[in-house]
Amino acid sequence: MNRILLGREHQHEELREGITMSLYINLSLLAVLLVIPANQGQTRIQMIVFIIMTVLALLVAHQIAFRLSSRFMNEGVVHREVPRLLLAQALGAATAAGLAVVPILFFGREGIWLSESLLLAFVCAIGFIASRSGGATRLRATGYVGFLIVVVASLIIFKHYAGA
């Protein structure tokens, strides 16, 4: 952040910030949804508000940290590109919020499993692409994704049978 980003470099930085935020919110929402007790009587609207407020709280916390660290790295000056990077982060957070909210909007409480699945699928897709771009074979990248799926699916199954 301590130098001016131009052209492709700038677009790369915006994309990285958007994907990072989307992954961060996806993983955070997945964790939150996994601990919501299944036997609670929240309405569809209460659940949507809960998810949106969680996303907003995480986004605001991250953006405050980002602004502070940017000022720290740039000797107290907010770089002119920071607002664009913050916008990219907000779009990444909105993507994650959409993945979590839309199934609940259509299916109510029963949509939580679909929300969890969509959040996991997004993380797995990015994980696979990142593994492959890092030089991993298809088998190794698939193994990484498979491991993520097994861990999260185990938690979902445990939650279901524990009645939580």
Q: How far apart are CA 86 and CA 66, in angstroms?
A: 8
Q: How far apart are CA 23 and CA 119, in angstroms?
A: 9
Q: How far apart are CA 34 and CA 32, in angstroms?
A: 5
Domain around 123 = 7-162
pTM of the model: 0.79
The total number of structural domains in the chain stands at 1
Average pLDDT over residues 96-102: 95
Q: Is residue 1 part of a domain?
A: no
Q: Is residue 108 part of a domain?
A: yes
Give 59-70 pLDDT, tens digit per residue.
999 889 888 888
Q: Is residue 2 part of a domain?
A: no
Give 122-151 pLDDT, tens digit per residue.
999 998 998 899 899 999 999 989 998 898
Q: Is residue 20 part of a domain?
A: yes
Q: Is residue 39 part of a domain?
A: yes
User: Residue 1 in contact with residue 74, Cβ under 8 Å?
Assistant: yes
